[in-house]
Chains A and B, each alone.
Chain A
Amino acid sequence: MCEMAKEAFASRNYRLAVEIYERCMKQQPPSFEIFFGYGDSLARCGRLREALDVYAQCFAIIAVPPERLRHLATALLEDIGGTSLPRRRTEASFVCPYCEGTLYQPVTANCGHTYCRNCLESSKCCRACGLKFGPSGETNVLVQRLVEKWWPREAEASRARHEGDLFMREGHVGQALERYNLAVRLAPNSPLHLSNRAHALLMLSRPQASLTDADHAIRLRPDWGKGHFRRGVALAALGRHEEALFAFCTSVAIDRNPQTVRQEITRVLHRMLSSNHRRQNSPATRGPYNMVQTIARSRRNRHHLLLPLMNPIQHHRRAALNTSDCEDNSSGEEDFSQTVCRRLMPTSVPHDNARLHAILDRVYQEVEKLKRVDARPAEILLPPLSRGDPAEGDLDCILCCRLLWKPVATPCGHTYCWMCLDRCLDYSSACPLCVTSLADYLASSQKTVTDFVERALKSVASTEYAARAASHRLELVQSLGLLDSEQIAVFICTTAFPRVACPLFVYEPRYRLMVRRCFEIGVREFGIAACLNREATGTKKYAEYGTMLEIRDRVLLKDGCSILSTVGGRRFRVLSGDERDGYDTAQVEFLRDTPVQPEQLLNLLELHDKVRTKGRRWWDTVPSSQQSEIQRVFGSMPDIEEDWSRLPDGPSWTWWILAILPLGPQLQVGILGTTSLEKRLRAIEKTLDHMEQRQLTVAPAPSEDTTTSASICSDDRTIVGNPVPVIQRS
């Protein structure tokens, strides 16, 4: 029966455990094992008061090791900590999310939240967002400058506090106290410094002074859990257990940090229950000797008592050990569960338990009150109100000389606008300011806006920041020529054809910028035109006719380059060109085939079918290895659209075949610019005839890997001079 109860308890079916234990107690004389099991089950059911009563009875009879109270402590902590208090909003202030104080040696983590260096190094994931920390970087120089400029005294105090913490860690409590004293002097209204000093004072066995600091900290911030925790520890050291329990519970209710408080609370509960029992008994009846008497008496008088399983003397000795302060008595429980068995009456509640109940009640009342308090960080740092001095120039990006927009911090601690840094990384993977390599940073693509700086911008320059956002958007639109429906950005590379795939490898900085802009604004389209005569004239010149490309997919490579899957769209003619941040833009007119006149339709149909057949025939002569290579890039030959004669670019298959036929770049451009379907068909036919005469096929495609277009271009086996562009490089 008892085993069943244990099983139920182990499988967390606490209600069932309670029931079974209750039945157990009716059927057989209860042992301590049953009794504690019952108490634990009650506690885990949330019936804390009853549990407390049960434990109190045990305490009245035998010394109990504190460890035995772990379920009670857990239940209490869960009950209190589980209440839905609002999460602390460190973002309301400019503090470290970990220590909640003024940032000292601020380091921005990969999630964009900024911590004191010490604080960052002592945690694994972000308190503000939960993201796992990467390797920590260098001090964020901008954040440090702002903190020191805006809150000089607090910054100095924070430095003293962190230095004190280091001393504490090394065990130099005296020196730590000095630093904390300085911190308190510099920033007397920060509960953090007081709390840390309270800790040091306690270590120096000055609990009363410790309590004074803790109380002061609580007065400054009643809703700060740590302060209550410090108060609890000091009170416990002073032997004021009930108040200590109260303080610990308050701390848990606020911070929901049951792990750190569990041990303290177990100890305090233990002392309380022990002293509760002591109060019940006269001093003469206390102690191990009394325990022997009790047991002996019980044995004599109550016939249904179970006999202790071990020899009485041995037991007495252990009991004696247990009665002394048994915080570190780990063997206690083992003895306990198998040894002393006594009759215990669950109904006989000692009167003094009313006191324990009252404490519990008070704790719950306080927690209820705390629910209504808006939790705030320990230190409240507000940016300067005066707009004149604070950020003049400080919040400008060194690269664009404008107010930072989406500020990001590099691992080396330098802040730039997101887009400015992106552009720099297009050209070089070094930090513009300190030339540290950012290759790993670029590869990890972990750029996040620095929360601190963004909030600084929003609070001291809110209007300007909003305006900056608007102007950024406008620039983006302008830079892609989206204000004017016939203005486009041009990727100068090759001739692409309508509805034919055109894979691109984008590595030139200017095109990386252009493509990034397309993605940022959500316009997946840009123009492409062939580069002509560059070598001949020494100047860059691009074809008069080009095609719009629609981005279907992008693979971002670690070095910031990308591979684009695109497909051709409308054709255009360039009217005039301009330049934007290194890439070309153009004023264009879009082209469409001249409509087929009804009287021409029959002839055209005939021509179309003839050329298509020829095309098919030629395709079948292409070696299968080349066929599959071509199909991999351009797909199979498109089917004939039903309404092909009315399409603005005619039937797709003509473009597909033009893309794979070995035509020279000039010829490709010329055909692209033709608005007569008939002329285009004839050009195809002529090429096919020409090839048939000379029994030519397309150039072999020797590449194993799509990105080696350069090798294809220089391939000698190319027959007409123009290779199959498997993938174009920017």
Chain B
Amino acid sequence: MTALPRRIIKETQRLMQEPVPGISAVPDDTNARYFHVIVTGPEDSPFEGGLFKLELFLPEDYPMSAPKVRFITKIYHPNIDRLGRICLDILKDKWSPALQIRTVLLSIQALLSAPNPDDPLANDVAELWKVNESEAIRNAKEWTRRFAMDN
């Protein structure tokens, strides 16, 4: 195992010292490249009041490659599938090494505030979101209550 790059140490320190409001990211005790993340559902979104667990992993060639992020808590969202995989451009082709864990998590938080059913990952959810948004939002709230609260 090679030494942890300074970049990761710095980012971790900053995440601890100046945490992003509504986001917590704590490195795993045994693997400094693996983060336990909790994102608070943004206000005025169907996810408000929920605490969403995610896992974030920094691959060996981070920051040249994007972090791998996945929702662990079930979530009803057109851009997040049943396995918790996230459809977000900066995690894929729009990744830039100048982006950070912090910016990635902020983008995910923003994605919760602004679902984008036109670029879906979960097709059924996206479809409902387009056809009957109020029902989709009801579902999202229901899922938030069921899976993202009181645990």
Contact = CB atoms under 8 A, between A and B. Distances in A.
A519 interface: no
Nearest to A393: B10
Nearest to A424: B97
A392 to B, nearest CB: 13
A399 interface: yes
A400 B2 contact: no
B64 A400 contact: no
Contact of A399 (B1, B7, B61): B7
Contacts, number: 48
Given A400-B7, A580-B2, A430 B96 contact: yes
B2 A578 contact: yes
Given A400-B7, A432-B96, A427 B60 contact: no
Contacts of A478: 2
Contacts of A433: 96, 98
A402 B6 contact: yes
A591 interface: no
Nearest to B59: A582
A430 B94 CA distance: 10
Contacts of A325: none
A610 B9 CA distance: 63
A355 B142 CA distance: 104
Nearest to B9: A401
A653 to B, nearest CB: 41
B5 to A, nearest CB: 7
A447 interface: no
A400 B9 CA distance: 10
B2 A401 contact: no
Nearest to A420: B97
A582 B61 contact: yes
B93 to A, nearest CB: 9
B6 A400 contact: yes
A155 B96 CA distance: 33
Interface string A568-582: 000000000011111
Contacts of B98: 398-399, 432-433
Contacts of A398: 98
B49 interface: no
Nearest to A582: B61
Interface in A410-426: 420, 423-424, 426
B42 interface: no
Interface in A23-44: none
Interface in B1-45: 1-2, 5-7, 9-11
B117 interface: no
Contacts of A432: 96-98
Given A399-B7, A401-B11, A510 B97 contact: no
A536 interface: no
Tier of interface size on chain B: 10 to 19
B91 to A, nearest CB: 14
A400 B5 contact: yes
A435 interface: yes
Given A423-B64, A582-B60, A582-B61, A401 B6 contact: yes
Contacts of B97: 399, 420, 423-424, 427, 432
Nearest to B93: A428
A509 interface: yes
Q: Label chain B's interface by main secondary structure.
A: loop
Interface in B91-144: 96-98
Nearest to B63: A399
Nearest to B97: A432
A398 B103 CA distance: 14
Interface in A569-621: 578-582
Contacts of B63: 399
A585 to B, nearest CB: 9
B7 A427 contact: no
B80 to A, nearest CB: 25
B83 to A, nearest CB: 17
Nearest to B96: A432
A478 B5 CA distance: 14
B3 to A, nearest CB: 9
Contacts of B64: 423-424, 426-427, 509, 581-582
Contacts of A402: 6-7
Contacts of B6: 400-402
B90 to A, nearest CB: 11
Contacts of B11: 401
Given A400-B5, A402-B6, A579 B96 contact: no
A398 B7 CA distance: 9
Interface in A489-520: 509-510
Contacts of A424: 64, 97
A398 B97 CA distance: 9
Nearest to A426: B64
Contacts of B96: 428, 430, 432-433, 435
Among B1, B7, B64, B65: residue with most chain A CB under 10 A: B64
Nearest to A579: B60
A587 to B, nearest CB: 13
Nearest to B64: A427
Nearest to B61: A582
Contacts of B1: 578
A508 to B, nearest CB: 11
B60 A581 contact: yes
B2 to A, nearest CB: 6
A433 B99 CA distance: 8
Contacts of B65: 427, 582
A426 to B, nearest CB: 7
A401 B7 contact: yes
B7 A510 contact: no
Contacts of B7: 399-402
Contacts of A580: 2, 60
Contacts of A435: 96
B68 to A, nearest CB: 14
Among A401, A420, A427, A510: residue with most chain B CB under 10 A: A401
Contacts of A579: 60
B12 to A, nearest CB: 11
A399 B65 CA distance: 12
Closest 9 CB pairs of A and B: A582-B61, A432-B98, A401-B10, A401-B7, A432-B97, A432-B96, A402-B6, A433-B98, A401-B6
11 contacts: A399-B7, A399-B97, A400-B5, A400-B7, A401-B9, A426-B64, A433-B98, A435-B96, A580-B60, A581-B64, A582-B65
Given A401-B10, A427-B65, A510-B61, 8 more contacts: A402-B6, A427-B64, A430-B96, A432-B97, A509-B64, A578-B2, A580-B2, A582-B61
